[in-house]
Amino acid sequence: MRYLFALMLLLVPILGVWTFVEADRWQLWFPQNVSSFGGEIDGLFNLIMYMVAFTFIVTEVALAWFVFKYSANRPGKGVFTHGSHKLEMIWTAIPAVALLFIAFAQMETWAKVKFESNFPKDGKYTKEKPIAELWASQFDWRVRYPGDDGTLGTVDDLERSYEFVVPVNTDVVFHLRSRDVIHSFFVPEFRLKQDALPGHTIPVWFRAEKEGIYDLVCAELCGWGHYKMSGRMTVLSQADYDKRMADIKAEWFSNGKEQGQ
Amino acid sequence: MSQATTHAPHNPHLEPGEGEAGTVREHHDHHELGFLRKWIFSVDHKVIGLQFLFSGLVFLALGGMMAMAIRYQLAWPWRPMPGLAWMFPATGGAISPEFYTMLFTMHGTIMIFFVMIPLLTGAFGNFLIPLMIGAPDMAFPKLNMFGYWTMIPAFFFILLGFFVEGGHAAGGWTSYPPLSTIEAAAPGSLTGQTCWLMGLTWVGVSSMMGAVNYVTTIVKMRAPGLTMMRLPLTIWSLMITSLLQLFALPVLTAASIMQLLDRTMNTGFFTPTNLVVNNITPDSFLYGSEGAAAGGQPLLWQHLFWFYSHPAVYILVLPAMGFTSDILAVHARKPIFGYKPMVYSMSAIAGLGFIVWGHHMFTSGMNPALGMTFMVSTVMIALPSAIKVFNWLGTLWGGRIHLRTPMLFACAFVSMFIIGGLSGIWMAATPVDIYIHDTYIVVAHFHYVVFAGSLFAIFAAIYHWFPKMFGRLMNETVGKIHFVGSFVFTNMTFYMMHQLGVAGLMRRTADPYAYDVYQHLQPINEFITISAFCMFAWQIFFVVNFFHSMFWGKRVGRNPWNAASLEWDAPSPPGHGNFDKQLEVYRGAYEFSSPEVAEDFIPQTRKV
């Protein structure tokens, strides 16, 4: 029986590592990365993964080996020991250093993505002059562009639901808001997630580096229709973006919404 | 320490209350109680422990069935449920989206508050603490009885919610406002959420009573000679868990009463001003019935909720660590490797557990500088967990391992706790969490800790202490069959969720395949669902073994495992008052394979 049980325990690290190695081939891995900071996030994930994998393999193999070796019919008693101060010191100090390293390795990227002091300041869009307001509500996304004057909350604002259009290779800042409950802005390809909090306006920035159409997912439970609260993130070249904005403007004002209304 | 007298048949802690009620002062070891006094209104810690055990197992079955329904929907969305179609006439037999949100909300709530906490602290805390410290009963037996009886209103409210208009709470087990406070926001927020809050508050009151009792009992009623550093690690873990509950529970109770007030009295602790929910305009908030005061902060709830519920995560795993330590030592015939580091690391987990709650809120809109702080404390909590794993391995090393069923489950706990613990580091890392927050990698993580970890430790503990509970052994062969299937199917169910999470799959979505980016993940979800069904069905081996062995299992004496701790000095099962002899403790609970004696263990009570 001990062969069976030790084998079961040994299969945990073997199959465990194997599924991670094969995951990419099975399309069970990161979707493509499109944002400027996504690569760093994937890199940090991998850094932790390699360190964790090492610990995982060592401890799981030791467990399986000990169960196999010491459950054999052996004469006499077990080793009578209450522990080893030296070993305790070693396996406290080494993981402590490794964990502190992991923690400090994260800080730069986190600050880059989330700290408002690090938001783009020189570009076309800033915290004070966002590209748009993104409103979440049960169960849709609405984008409000500031229009020609570049200021939100004025009469020339443009509204559009479902699709959020942004230019490629540009630092984009937008304001995330919610009309009702908590939602969360998540674009897997951007590696970006931020909750929309009712009563708050949260500035968010990203820089998309590849044109395309990406799913905008609501990542925080927001009611029975949470699963269908989808949106679309469209990244266009600057020329296409300008054209699309003109179309959006024409469409918006032809829908009976006159200036000055 | 000074409790030598408590081991006499007359228990001073029990007598006064009973003396008032009757005219005859009862002797605990001679009298026969009626069915009601013995099994229903019992003040005996062993019976109360069994009450918690049975109700916990019933709710485990209920929560498990909900998990199966959730898995069915994820594998085959909107397809009629075979055999259960009659439950959902409105949708032609399929699960409706609002039913799905209710299912995962109540699956989480029931498993955490009605299964794991009552089983770990209620069942085993009650059953084991007096026996393992050599006390005749708890310090406050009547309080102990009330501790179970306050679970009855909790059961009532949590079950009532299923039958009210709009169904049960559907805001997730975390119940974030305003989704949970505004009636128009979700069907479950009509009345179900109120039932949920009432149920949780009563569970909190029950846990509070238990915690007061456990700490008092452990501090004041240990047998002579049983110093704190001679306590079994199970007792240490339960003591630390109780302290966690004492400090954290008042916050949850206060928070749930605040949410209750928001819902019923129109206060505005958590509800901001100027919401438009379900096309209800702000005006109706001002003059209508909902959140009239408003001006509240949704994040306040998250802080308060996680200030309890993160320590609660350690409440869910610390006792499991204690059981595992004891079971590993007994069945490996080895002293615990590094007893003191084990105690210190459990204390460190508990202490750090109070300053890591913010890691649930990295993407919530909380100040990102706070996120940085919480990341460091969260990453560091992996350190004491790692120390414990190394010490468990050290305990196995050089042992004479008997691979009996409890030992198998305990080894499986170590194996799977490693997975759950390591995957936590990803979540602690703030930039990585931006991506993986609320994805299936989180689901994998906490199921590896709480299901594959703690529940396996509970199975280990049931197999290990069953002889003490009922005086009979559980069947070893059936137990091993139960173990093999559970271990295999559990890993098949939860392991691939890591990869689903890396692929970005969101949790709590009724139909993730509505998104292009997730469509290719459906086959792997089918695989997981089939594995989950097998794992659920496999538990029949446990149920049959448990009930069969209770009545027809092999009878055993006091100490079937040749264990050294005090509970094995009592008869199996122990009578009222537990011990039939005077106890005197001379050593720690892990003197296995000692060269001092011919046998391979020295009981704590034996003088050499």
Q: Among residues A183, A188, A175, A241, which one has the least CA distance to residue A215?
A: A188
The span from the CA of A192 to the CA of A174, in Å, is 13
Please indicate whether residue B83 or residue B44 has the higher confidence score (pLDDT).
Answer: B44
Contact between B380 and A103 using a beta-carbon 8 Å cutoff: yes
Q: Provide the chain A residues 101-160 that lie in CB contact (below 8 A) with chain B.
A: 102-103, 106-107, 109-111, 113-116, 137-138
Q: Provide the chain A residues 153-172 that lie in CB contact (below 8 A) with chain B.
A: none
Contact partners, residue B215, CB within 8 Å, separation at least 6: B239, B242, B243, B246
Nearest to A198 among B298, B332, B509 (CB): B298
Mean pLDDT of the A174-198 span = 95
Hey, where are the domains in chain A?
Answer: 2-71+84-114, 132-254
β-sheet bridge partners, residue B94: none
B347 shares contact with chain A (CB less than 8 Å):
no
Q: Where are the alpha helices (DSSP H) in chain A?
A: 2-22, 38-70, 85-114, 238-254
Other CB atoms within a 10 A radius of the CB of residue A79 amount to 15
pLDDT of B283 > 80? The answer is: no
β-sheet bridge partners, residue A81: none
Provide the 3-class DSSP secondary structure of residue B149: helix
pLDDT at B102: 96
User: Percent of chain B having pLDDT more than 70?
Assistant: 92
User: Percent of chain B having pLDDT more than 90?
Assistant: 81
pLDDT of B14 > 70? The answer is: no
The span from the CA of B108 to the CA of B356, in Å, is 21
What is the tens place of the pLDDT at every residue in B94-136?
899 999 999 999 999 999 999 999 999 999 999 999 999 999 9
**A183-187 vs A230-236, strand pairing mode:** unpaired
A78 shares contact with chain B (CB less than 8 Å):
yes
Chain center to CA of B163: 26
pLDDT band at B87 (very low <50, low <70, confident <90, very high): confident
Contact between A63 and B510 using a beta-carbon 8 Å cutoff: no
Instruction: Identify whether the C-beta of residue B16 lies closer than 8 Å to the C-beta of residue B22.
Output: no
pLDDT at B189: 87
Measure in Å the smallest separation between the Cα of A117 and chain B Cα atoms: 11
Instruction: Identify whether the C-beta of residue B252 lies closer than 8 Å to the C-beta of residue B204.
Output: yes
pLDDT of B146 > 80? The answer is: yes
Contact between B516 and A215 using a beta-carbon 8 Å cutoff: yes
Instruction: Identify whether the C-beta of residue B167 lies closer than 8 Å to the C-beta of residue B187.
Output: yes
pLDDT at A257: 53
Hey, where are the domains in chain B?
Answer: 42-273+300-569
Q: Domain A132-254: which CATH class?
A: mainly beta
Q: Model ipTM?
A: 0.94
Hey, what's the torsion of the CAs at B310, B316, B317, B319, to 10 degrees? Answer: 130
pLDDT at B576: 87
pLDDT of B465 > 80? The answer is: yes
Mean pLDDT of the B358-379 span = 95
pLDDT band at B83 (very low <50, low <70, confident <90, very high): confident
Q: Record the pTM.
A: 0.93
pLDDT band at B5 (very low <50, low <70, confident <90, very high): very low
Instruction: Identify whether the C-beta of residue B559 lies closer than 8 Å to the C-beta of residue B601.
Output: no
Hey, what's the torsion of the CAs at B549, B553, B555, B557, to 10 degrees? Answer: -40
Chain center to CA of B221: 25
CATH number attached to the domain at B42-273+300-569: 1.20.210.10
Mean pLDDT of chain B: 90
Residue ranges of E strands in B400-540: 472-473
pLDDT at B280: 66
Mean pLDDT of the B72-87 span = 89
The span from the CA of A196 to the CA of A202, in Å, is 7
pLDDT at B35: 79
Q: Provide the chain B residues 397-456 that lie in CB contact (below 8 A) with chain A.
A: 397-403, 408, 411-412, 414-416, 418-419, 422-423, 425-426, 428-432, 434-438
B372 shares contact with chain A (CB less than 8 Å):
yes
Nearest to B415 among A63, A102, A184 (CB): A63
β-sheet bridge partners, residue A214: A233
Q: Which of A108-122, B17-31, B135-149 has the least mean pLDDT? A: B17-31
pLDDT band at A132 (very low <50, low <70, confident <90, very high): very high
Residue A6 corresponds to which tokens in the numbers above?
Answer: 């030790």
A50 shares contact with chain B (CB less than 8 Å):
no
pLDDT at B9: 42
Residue A228 corresponds to which tokens in the numbers above?
Answer: 């269908």
The DSSP symbol for A222 reads: -
What is the tens place of the pLDDT at every residue in B535-581?
999 999 999 999 999 999 999 999 999 999 999 999 999 998 999 98
pLDDT band at B3 (very low <50, low <70, confident <90, very high): very low
A243 shares contact with chain B (CB less than 8 Å):
no
Contact between B401 and A66 using a beta-carbon 8 Å cutoff: yes
**B554-555 vs B472-473, strand pairing mode:** antiparallel
The span from the CA of B261 to the CA of B268, in Å, is 8
Provide the 3-class DSSP secondary structure of residue A192: strand
**A230-236 vs A163-167, strand pairing mode:** parallel
Provide the 3-class DSSP secondary structure of residue A167: strand
Mutation site, B435, B437, B443, B498, interface A, largest A CB count within 10 A = B435
pLDDT at B91: 81
Nearest to B411 among A49, A63, A222 (CB): A63
What is the tens place of the pLDDT at every residue in B165-206?
999 999 999 999 999 988 888 888 889 999 999 999 999 999
pLDDT at B548: 97
Answer positive or negative: Cα dihedral of B87, B88, B94, B96.
negative
Q: What stretch of H or E contains A140? A: strand A140-145
